Amino acid sequence: MVELFFDIQFASPLAIRLVNLSTLGFLGSLCFLSNLPLPGAHAFMAFSGLYGFFGLIGFAFMVEFAQRRKRLGSPQSGGSGPEAAHTEKTEDGKTEDKTKGFVAVLRWRDRWIWDTGNVTLMAFVPGMFSLLLTVILFPFFGAKSLLTLLPGGLGLAFAAIYAVVGSRVRKLKANLPKSEAEVAEAMFFSRPRQTPGLAVLHADRLELLGIALIDRLVIRLADIAAISEVRWFNGRRLWWKRGFVLDLKNGRRVGVAVPEPFGRRWRAPLSGGTLPDLSISESEKSGVSSPGMP
């Protein structure tokens, strides 16, 4: 959720632990229950001290920026500056580009709903509003005001579901063998089945790995007869994602949706060069060179 509001992606393990620990600050909202006209309700005011956990967010930023500066200035990176973070000297003294096959997903809107930040939002925000509304309405409606806790309960239920989905997707990614292929979290279908999972783009093939219903699909790029970009994906509207429907030479139709940074690059290899690589044109406009496909 912190990454959502501040448009930053933490890479330092310590910073990530600090941010996750800071979520305990949301429990400070329980102090509002001290306003309930119930015996001993004033004891809930002790929860207000938990708001102090939000201070860990500041420490997380300091740790993250210190870690980034250390990486950029380290001798192993081949120098200093932003470009140094993407190069590495090999044993023979040559400089190797580490950005090959790399696509950064930094914006919140490029992440799927099962992302940890989105799950945290889903778990806490509805609950906080429900709790606050209950405290406000309880003096007027009594026990009936407890019905306003239902949205918070639904938020927790959806958060639990998507937390399981996110965990399985991350586990799938962790078990992938090392390669120069680009890996994107994705949604794909082969009708009538659809599943979240991973899309792995190699130089000659596209692998789709699902967490349920569909285990694994391997599509050779040479077998793609036609490709179309879609905003409606298997009957659902895509928001801030790029969808592709692949018509294969064997008559089969497969759809895959990936975050925009991947979609802008993948449209070129998936279409056999028919569609341009939009990431290149955007990089030229901003004066930054785009890494090439492996």
User: Residue 14 corresponds to which tokens in the numbers above?
Assistant: 């310590």
Closest CA to 103 of 276, 260, 285, 221: 260
Is the pLDDT assigned to residue 139 strictly greater than 70?
A: yes
DSSP secondary structure letters along 131-151: HHHHHHHHHHHGGGGGGGGHH
What percent of the chain has pLDDT above 70?
A: 80
Is the pLDDT assigned to residue 221 strictly greater than 90?
A: yes
Closest CA to 228 of 258, 255, 206, 197: 255
Domains and CATH numbers, the chain: 1-98 (no CATH), 178-286 (2.30.29.30)
pLDDT at residue number 290? 43
Residue type, 46: A
Beta bridge partners of 68: none
pLDDT in tens, 96-112: 444 444 455 557 788 89
Residue written as tokens 């309930």? 36
Give the single-character DSSP code of 292.
P
Mean pLDDT (whole number) for 12-17? 82
Higher per-residue pLDDT: 209 or 285: 209
CB of 189 closer than 8 Å to CB of 238: no
For the chain, state the CA radius of gyration: 24
Mean pLDDT of the chain: 78
CB of 241 closer than 8 Å to CB of 255: no
Is the pLDDT assigned to residue 245 strictly greater than 50?
A: yes
pLDDT at residue number 220? 95
